[in-house]
A and B are shown apart, each in its own frame.
Chain A
């Protein structure tokens, strides 16, 4: 136990030096952060301004520049957990199936008779046919439209299920297709949320999918969760629909294929519009804040060629009619078509403030969310509170550190000094590890570090107490130290593995701040075992070799 081969010694010191190098950037936090930001900006192709260059050169690029990320609770910012209503999309999928079903049944008109879609409140497509005797043929014909779904669970599953119910054919989504649709919806939602947050120009947002249908969004530096929600909470589904008529009573019968939508402008009452839009927001290529003839804020937009053609065709054949601009099932405005609009661009006016029009432009550019989202959890941490937490955490850590250092020297003298050296190194290594893996430091994370401080000395205490015991059994210094290390190792391993198990479970099960705590606690255990078993032993052994003491006092 007392002999260290040269390679092992070298390795230990190399690890310690590497730890120092990788932990160092955190001492110059602001400088390194500016350096990293400037570097990223320049790589993005931003022009070299003196400020950027100065920031970049503020930290030599040959040095490590990874930093410990500060969590939201230390930096301030907003945290929002939302749930995507994935079932929203099912109805759209079924709606899009209707034309094909209609066409295939009409081909068999002689056999099945008349074909009519039925209104239903369920998520299904209901079609009544005139001749119920031909039901089997009709179902087979519709079934031929379904496609196989590739999935892990349901081999041979089709995307739609077709069954007969009296004289009606009922088409529903299969479970396999639902799962596949959910997944697509989530991917799209994530992408749209990411685009919207990026458009707003915030730094280092975290946007993650959680579980089957949730998205976690954390944006440091943003003023409040409400601000963030204004950006991501809206579906922003824009459509241009044909107006059938204007009504005052929302409960009036709309007629098949029509819907009644409220107007944003309350004086205008309600509009009955055609359910299927003329053009949708997905045909937009650009949207910008603009002003109308009267100088009021508005949003101008441009269609892609397909959208422009559809819009042109509709406006030229419906001059003098109203058409509705619908955003999230509300009519923003319903202008009269003065003349055919063939250029593929237009302007949305309404009673916007400048902020609202800017936001609407962002939302339209980023695209609509495929489904509605629901907020489950929202948290805002002000920057002052974060700064307070850092300040308090720092002071607490320093006091705890000093206390433990003094206590160790009082208890173990020179050996206490060795243990303290290991303890300092332990913290350095911990910060190095946290920086390299890009971990996020949270307030409970700081608590984890402080706790590690207290517990890190445990391994050394175990060893020193054991050496004391062996010395009492009248063994020579070298022998006592050797046995001390040998005997204490199994206790150290067992004791730390149990704590590590707890930390791992915390990490796996926990969320947010709890996870931060688990990371620092877990890494702290690893570094403390390393420093206790290798570093202090190397120190003690080296000291023993140099001094060759006849007696030692631990």
Chain B
């Protein structure tokens, strides 16, 4: 007996609901953009500059104790948060750890150096056995460049695949794929704006992977569309698209599940350092799967496809061969 998440043959009409889904997607995308401008992203020091110190103590220390010690120093804006990692117990890596974030004070390296030393000596004298798991300090100059490099990377990736799909398919396909892709990226940024998880360099990596994954999904559906367009020359485009989505549905679900399985393990057990990253990936896989069915294909449908490509190269023999294949 096989585990089957999707029935052997499905005949779901995905286009019956496109009005609703496209509208919903557009709405959520707009909300994401609004959230981005209203709440902003919780940028990590990679993008904002500043200092982060992560400590560990043998016994639990209240966050307020840290605050009291640190407010004695002239640090400007700072925040102290407890590091909560539910998976740490399972992986035996539990520590009493807090994260101290200090706003960028000046670009002068000496000041930053003194600042870290000052914080450390203050904490050393107040808390016995304290150790420093991590101290990061990024200057404003670099952080600006990192933002720029990140944005350029995402744009480059989008254009590169746009070009590749245009090369392998038709331009309508690449418009559909890129619409889905932009949708995924916007929604990911939106969710980061709403729940205010730290947005750092590794999130950019996650977004780029989402770009790759979303396309992966879309391309598999489109590959089938291309094949079915050749096979059923008389069928209306809508039916061909619907058929193709149905035929690839089992694969779409299977791959999403295995990927989510792996990401889920990483999210729970992988430690808090990469939790934000895995969260972005999980969200991206879900949104990416949705968008390849409910965004990419409807847009392809609206743009229409040139159906007579075989006549172009005049290869009548290929047409014949395609009937059986």
Q: Which residues of A contact B (CB under 8 A)?
A: 73, 81, 83, 224-226, 229, 233, 374-382, 384-385, 387-389, 391-393, 395-397, 399-400, 403-404, 407-408, 410-413, 443-444, 446-447, 450-451, 453-455, 457-458, 461-462, 465, 468-469, 472, 483, 487, 490-491, 494-499, 501-503, 505-506, 509-514, 517-518, 521, 553
Whether B209 and A521, one on each chain, are in contact in the complex, defined by CB atoms closer than 8 angstroms, is yes
Known contacts A388-B95, A410-B3; A81 and B164 CB within 8 A of each other: no
A–B complex contacts, Cβ < 8 Å, 12 sampled: A375-B109, A378-B135, A379-B136, A393-B270, A455-B255, A457-B254, A472-B9, A483-B325, A498-B164, A498-B165, A502-B212, A514-B204
Q: Which of B58-66, B234-242, B260-268 contacts A (4 or more CB under 8 A)?
A: B260-268
Least Cβ–Cβ distance between A359 and chain B, in angstroms: 15
Check if B12 is an interface residue, CB within 8 A of chain A: no
Whether A384 and B56, one on each chain, are in contact in the complex, defined by CB atoms closer than 8 angstroms, is yes
Per-position 1/0 for B148-168, Cβ under 8 A of A: 011011001100110011001
| Interface size classification for chain B | 35 or more
Contacts of B232-278 to chain A: CB distance below 8 A: 247-248, 250-251, 254-255, 257-266, 268-271, 273-274, 277-278
Whether A381 and B139, one on each chain, are in contact in the complex, defined by CB atoms closer than 8 angstroms, is no
Q: Please measure, in the bound complex, the distance between the C-alpha atom of A447 and the C-alpha atom of B263, giving whole angstroms.
A: 8
Q: Please measure, in the bound complex, the distance between the C-alpha atom of A461 and the C-alpha atom of B4, giving whole angstroms.
A: 13
> In the complex, what residues of A have CB within 8 A of residue B87's CB?
392
Closest-by-CB residue of B relative to A469 is B247
Q: Please measure, in the bound complex, the distance between the C-alpha atom of A410 and the C-alpha atom of B261, giving whole angstroms.
A: 14
Check if B43 is an interface residue, CB within 8 A of chain A: no
Q: Please measure, in the bound complex, the distance between the C-alpha atom of A506 and the C-alpha atom of B3, giving whole angstroms.
A: 36
Q: Please measure, in the bound complex, the distance between the C-alpha atom of A505 and the C-alpha atom of B153, giving whole angstroms.
A: 6
Neighbour of A506 across the interface among B153, B213, B215, B219, CB < 8 A: B153
Task: Give the 9 A-B CB pairs with smallest separation, nearest first.
Answer: A454-B259, A502-B212, A454-B262, A392-B271, A375-B109, A509-B153, A499-B212, A400-B265, A388-B93
Q: Please measure, in the bound complex, the distance between the C-alpha atom of A411 and the C-alpha atom of B258, giving whole angstroms.
A: 11
Q: Please measure, in the bound complex, the distance between the C-alpha atom of A395 and the C-alpha atom of B269, giving whole angstroms.
A: 7
Whether B131 and A384, one on each chain, are in contact in the complex, defined by CB atoms closer than 8 angstroms, is yes
Neighbour of B164 across the interface among A375, A410, A462, A501, CB < 8 A: A501
Neighbour of A462 across the interface among B117, B220, B277, CB < 8 A: B220
Known contacts A389-B273, A499-B216; A505 and B160 CB within 8 A of each other: yes
Q: Helix, strand, loop or mixed for chain A's interface?
A: helix
Closest-by-CB residue of B relative to A82 is B109
Check if B303 is an interface residue, CB within 8 A of chain A: no
> In the complex, what residues of A have CB within 8 A of residue B307's CB?
none
Q: Please measure, in the bound complex, the distance between the C-alpha atom of A454 and the C-alpha atom of B138, giving whole angstroms.
A: 34
Neighbour of A411 across the interface among B2, B141, B161, CB < 8 A: B2
Closest-by-CB residue of B relative to A489 is B223
Neighbour of A499 across the interface among B134, B213, B227, CB < 8 A: B213
Check if B132 is an interface residue, CB within 8 A of chain A: yes
Check if B142 is an interface residue, CB within 8 A of chain A: yes
Q: Please measure, in the bound complex, the distance between the C-alpha atom of A455 and the C-alpha atom of B212, giving whole angstroms.
A: 11
Known contacts A392-B271, A455-B259; A498 and B219 CB within 8 A of each other: yes
Least Cβ–Cβ distance between A233 and chain B, in angstroms: 7
Q: Please measure, in the bound complex, the distance between the C-alpha atom of A505 and the C-alpha atom of B2, giving whole angstroms.
A: 40
